[in-house]
Amino acid sequence: MKAKILFLLSLVIVLLSLENCKPDPKTQTTSTDPDSLYRGTKYIIQIPFGFPSLTNPYKDSLTVEGIQLGRRLFYDKRLSSTGLLACASCHMLQHGFADSIVLATNVSGLNKRNAPTIQNLAWAPIMFWDGRQPTLAAQAQDAGHNELGLLPASAVPMLQADSVYARLFRKAFGRPGKVTESEIYLAIQEFEMSAISANSRFDSLQRGQAQYTPEESDAFFTIFTQNTGECFHCHAEGNDLLMVNRTSGFTFRNNGLQVANTINDFADAGRGAITGLSTDYGLFKNPTLRNIAVSGPYMHDGRYKTLEQVINFYSDSLHLTPNADPNIALHMDTANGEHLLTGGMHFTAQQKADLLILLNDMTDTSFLNNPNLKSPF
């Protein structure tokens, strides 16, 4: 009897210890699968309601760790040759990732152009006011070299030696070994792809989840989308449901901003300086109007401080130049039956006020306060 009990007891002990030997499912991969060190957690972009599907070739290679890594890099001043500048110095979340000053100073001098917003660029096939880079990673490399003065010879070893960075690089790019320069830019691209704005009041109006006030209705249905203002021709490319979303049909236009008699007179030739085509001189990428109220100063040269000034420009200060868009050209003033080289949509005070309300509706505070987009430092 005693022997039987002892036998049963030892059986229980053996069974229990066998149970303890079973690998813990939570740690299983780390202890038995060496590759798990190099495997990040897949991140799937949730397409907001009404947005078109994503064709970006990088959309399936995003990881949680890659995005975290890109975010750190985006905010890290140690990447710049001076140690004083990060991407986020000129691209501030509270301004829709735009800059709040007219022209910023980079490592080698004053920038020529105003820094635009960074939002919903996962859908964008061209980067910069003149579209000179095709992807976010190529753009980030351009900015890394020209804005930050990033030197791979010092930045790469610095990142490699930092245990947080080293772990994130391993997870994001799925292999051991050395950090490479191109991975820096791929990670920044991942972070930027995760910067999605889709919750402004304007989005709710477009989705039918909110009611237009009479002022908003006037601004949208009689000015923005009619030839009273012509705005939709350029700021609603591709006829998307969400008109301020930059999606398909990105094009370059001349909105009558600069004064020029010939194509060589444009102070900034914009797209023309990239393609060399005479029909591209003075053209700039149609900017998104999303979060426009917080992303001033406005235009490629940051010449306007306020949205009131922008509205007054479209109302009364358009210029007819070579390559002026037809929707701008048809608003030139006439005197004695002659077309002048200046003009405007000539809004009433009420129309200006209504347009301003509509532009303010495009502010997405959930984006501007998104904790996942804030500095990790």
* For residue 23, cis peptide bond before it (omega within 30 degrees of 0): no
Of the pair 23, 249, the CB lying nearest ligand HEC is at 249
Residues 290 to 319: which contact ligand HEC by CB under 6 A? 292, 295, 298-300, 310, 314
Q: Please state whether beta strands 252-253 and 105-106 pair in parallel, antiparallel, or not at all (unpaired).
A: unpaired
Whole-angstrom distance, CA of residue 307 vs CA of residue 313: 10
Length of the chain: 377
Tell the residue number behind the tokens 């976010």, with chain if given. 136
321 is a site residue for ligand HEC (CB under 6 A): no
Whole-angstrom distance, CA of residue 294 vs CA of residue 247: 21
Number of residues that bind ligand HEC (CB under 6 A): 51
Answer whether 357's CB lies under 8 Å from 190's CB.
no
Rounded to a whole number of angstroms, the minimum distance from the CB of residue 189 to ligand HEC is: 8
- By CB atoms closer than 10 A (0-12, 13-18, 19+), residue 62 is buried
Rounded to a whole number of angstroms, the minimum distance from the CB of residue 20 to ligand HEC is: 49
219 is a site residue for ligand HEC (CB under 6 A): no
* Per-residue mark of binding to ligand HEC, 98-137 (x: CB under 6 A): ------x-x----x-x-xx-x--x-----xxxx-----x-
69 is a site residue for ligand HEC (CB under 6 A): no
Answer whether 345's CB lies under 8 Å from 228's CB.
yes
Rounded to a whole number of angstroms, the minimum distance from the CB of residue 366 to ligand HEC is: 20
170 is a site residue for ligand HEC (CB under 6 A): no
The encoded tokens of residue 264 equal 């060589």
327 is a site residue for ligand HEC (CB under 6 A): yes
Locate the DSSP E strands across the chain: 105-106, 109-110, 252-253, 284-285, 318-319, 332-335, 338-343
Whole-angstrom distance, CA of residue 220 vs CA of residue 355: 8
Whole-angstrom distance, CA of residue 118 vs CA of residue 266: 26
Rounded to a whole number of angstroms, the minimum distance from the CB of residue 333 to ligand HEC is: 16
280 is a site residue for ligand HEC (CB under 6 A): no
* Per-residue mark of binding to ligand HEC, 332-351 (x: CB under 6 A): -------------x------
State the residues that interact with ligand HEC by CB under 6 A: 85, 87, 89-91, 104, 106, 111, 113, 115-116, 118, 121, 127-130, 136, 139-140, 143-144, 147-148, 188, 192, 229-231, 233-235, 253, 255, 257, 284, 286-287, 289, 292, 295, 298-300, 310, 314, 325, 327-328, 345, 355
